[in-house]
Amino acid sequence: MSANPVRIFVPVDAAALSVGAEAVAQAIASEATKRGLSVEIVRNGSRGMLWLEPLVEVETAEGRIAYGPVAAKDVPSLFDADFASGGAHPLRLGKTEELDWMKRQQRLTFERVGVIDPLSIADYRAYGGFKGLEKALSLTGGEIVDAVKASGLRGRGGAGFPTGIKWKTVHDASATQKYIVCNADEGDSGTFADRMLFEGDPYLVIEGMTIAAIAVGATRGYIYLRSEYPHAHRTLQRAILKAEAAGLIGASVLGSQHAFHLEVRLGAGAYICGEETSLLESLEGKRAVVRAKPPLPALQGLFGKPTVVNNVLSFAAVPWIMDHGAQAYADCGMGRSRGTLPIQLGGNVRRGGLVELAFGISLREIIEDMGGGTLSGRPIRAVQVGGPLGAYLTAGQLDVQMDYEALAAMRAMLGHGGIVVFDDSVDMARQARFAMEFCAKESCGKCTPCRIGATRGVEVMDRIIAGTEVPENIAVLRDLSKLMIDASLCAMGGLTPMPVLSALDHFPEDFDRPPLPLAAE
């Protein structure tokens, strides 16, 4: 091997692997061997341009050059075109940083994802990692909490609660043991930012949780990860071991007097565990039944101890805030939504992926300009924002800005930042039925409005779809929805009516169905 092998980046992100990145990496390795070329294949995270996966990049004197989507069979022709020096080829996209999708973004949280080797601590450090933690170690817990408050960071899991206020509560509580819990039960359909972050830059979340631990005086932390993410699980486990070995976490954080022990725990296929109190029950080894609040988890959380429970993206924003200052973060965004939001664009869309931008971009810009409309080429009919509990919007409502308050004003929600696009073949009565069915399957069963209401909701929707006494059944559906909203214990039952009612209000024609002919089934 020569002294300077060419560095070639092939993502190890699960989405890239799902369309053949492993075969591409192997083909590049064997083709290079065959041709006697010295290459170093780096398995990076995904840049978030998922329609271009597998996206292969080569490091050249003028920067990283992207090729994609690359199939294993394209590899010999890429070598023929001298792609290792950035040579011309039909799959050549240009310099990665200058691609329109990348240029339009403001990547704070995702700045390293796709750039570095996810498990290399040296890479992480070289790209600014641990600066936030080093800063935090020079401050008191109260000063860290004040910085997070001043940044305006709000919980990225969906509820949008100010992170600094939560931390302050835990900071001020006195207890023999406090915990930091990362909610990585990213169960909302249409969301994958947490997964991409774990697979592409796992040390960032570890750093964010460690800063939280120092701020509030916690010594133990858990990442509760959904079992549907085996790739993220492997990466996180290895990252934690490496971080411990390097003295970043463990008995002494970077040589300080602070101890922080971190563990990943796997969920077991229960959507409700994204709700923080049921997540805590699950971590304690119990049925994940929602707890009544109060007491707040900040005061009586895991094993009854004061606990910070935050989303992956909330913890991940903290190192940047500590490093660059609260004001720099607060300078992004609009109104009461400060900073950046990692938006995930999926469903029936031509160019889907991850976009990190300051709050305030319109849905239309994301879906039409960046996403390029539907994959099927048919007109957009509906867009669901914020996961299975989020509202369905019409193609006419897409000028709304991505911001907690702007969406709430139109009875929608931002949630975890997922956008799912549907074309005109969608049947919105079926989508409303699915929302109820999902709630019936995933309800923890503690409160009646959710447990029974969702099952009744499926039955009512079945009657509407069959065209049976439609106006009367729509009245029942509205009444049932109101009850679920008003009387459910948590967001599962309380928000399930949001997709249902938005479908009914915005797409009434899909609910106005003639009776099915009796002989049909």
Partner 1 sequence: MAGYPAWDQDSARMIVAGLAHLEGATLPMLHALQDEFGYVDPQAVPLIAEALNLSRAEVHGAISFYHDFKTAPQPARIVKLCRAEACQALGCESVVDDLARTHGIAVDDHHAGDAIVETVYCLGNCALGPSALVDGELIGRVDAARIAGLCQHGRAHS
Binding site for partner 1 (CB under 8 A): 14-15, 17-19, 50-51, 53, 186-192, 194-195, 220, 227-231, 265-271, 282-289, 303, 344-349, 352-353, 375, 384, 388, 418, 420-423, 426, 431, 434, 438, 442, 444
**Count helices and strands in the chain by DSSP H and E runs:** 21, 16
**Alpha carbon distances (Å) from 484 to 275, 333, 457, 461, 501:** 17, 33, 10, 15, 12
State the minimum distance, in angstroms, from the CB of residue 87 to partner 1: 28
Helix (H) / strand (E) element for 475: namely: helix 470-487
Closer residue to partner 1 (CB): 276 or 423 = 423
Nearest to 248 by CA among 113, 124, 146, 109: 124
Amino acid at 436: M
State the minimum distance, in angstroms, from the CB of residue 345 to partner 1: 7
Closer residue to partner 1 (CB): 194 or 510 = 194
State the minimum distance, in angstroms, from the CB of residue 64 to partner 1: 22
- In the 3-class helix/strand/coil scheme, how is 245-290 assigned residue by residue? HCCCCECCHHHCCCCEEEEEEECCCCHHHHCHHHHHHHHCCCCCCC
State the minimum distance, in angstroms, from the CB of residue 325 to partner 1: 32
Closer residue to partner 1 (CB): 171 or 220 = 220
**Alpha carbon distances (Å) from 26 to 22, 31, 42, 71, 72:** 6, 8, 12, 11, 8
- 329: three-class secondary structure by DSSP: helix
- 411: three-class secondary structure by DSSP: coil
State the minimum distance, in angstroms, from the CB of residue 187 to partner 1: 6
State the minimum distance, in angstroms, from the CB of residue 273 to partner 1: 9
Closer residue to partner 1 (CB): 198 or 320 = 198
Taking the C-alpha atoms of residue 103 and residue 271, their distance in angstroms, rounded to an integer, is 35
State the minimum distance, in angstroms, from the CB of residue 20 to partner 1: 9
- Give me the half-sphere count of Cα atoms (radius 13 Å) on the Cβ side of residue 191: 29
State the minimum distance, in angstroms, from the CB of residue 432 to partner 1: 12
Closer residue to partner 1 (CB): 388 or 457 = 388
Closer residue to partner 1 (CB): 445 or 508 = 445
Hey, CA dihedral for 435, 436, 437, 441, is it positive or negative?
Answer: positive
Nearest to 282 by CA among 260, 265, 300: 265
Task: Classify each residue of 216-249 as buried b or exposed e, where b means 16 or more C-beta atoms within 10 Å of its C-beta.
Answer: bbbbbbbbbbbeebebbbebbeebbebbbeeebb
Closer residue to partner 1 (CB): 137 or 184 = 184
Closer residue to partner 1 (CB): 418 or 494 = 418
Closer residue to partner 1 (CB): 151 or 235 = 235
Taking the C-alpha atoms of residue 68 and residue 52, their distance in angstroms, rounded to an integer, is 5
State the minimum distance, in angstroms, from the CB of residue 55 to partner 1: 12
Taking the C-alpha atoms of residue 231 and residue 12, their distance in angstroms, rounded to an integer, is 9
State the minimum distance, in angstroms, from the CB of residue 111 to partner 1: 21
Hey, CA dihedral for 10, 11, 15, 18, is it positive or negative?
Answer: positive
Asked if 200 and 112 count as a contact pair (C-beta separation under 8 A), the reply is yes
- Give me the half-sphere count of Cα atoms (radius 13 Å) on the Cβ side of residue 318: 36
Asked if 219 and 251 count as a contact pair (C-beta separation under 8 A), the reply is no
Radius of gyration of the chain (CA): 24
State the minimum distance, in angstroms, from the CB of residue 276 to partner 1: 15
Closer residue to partner 1 (CB): 76 or 269 = 269
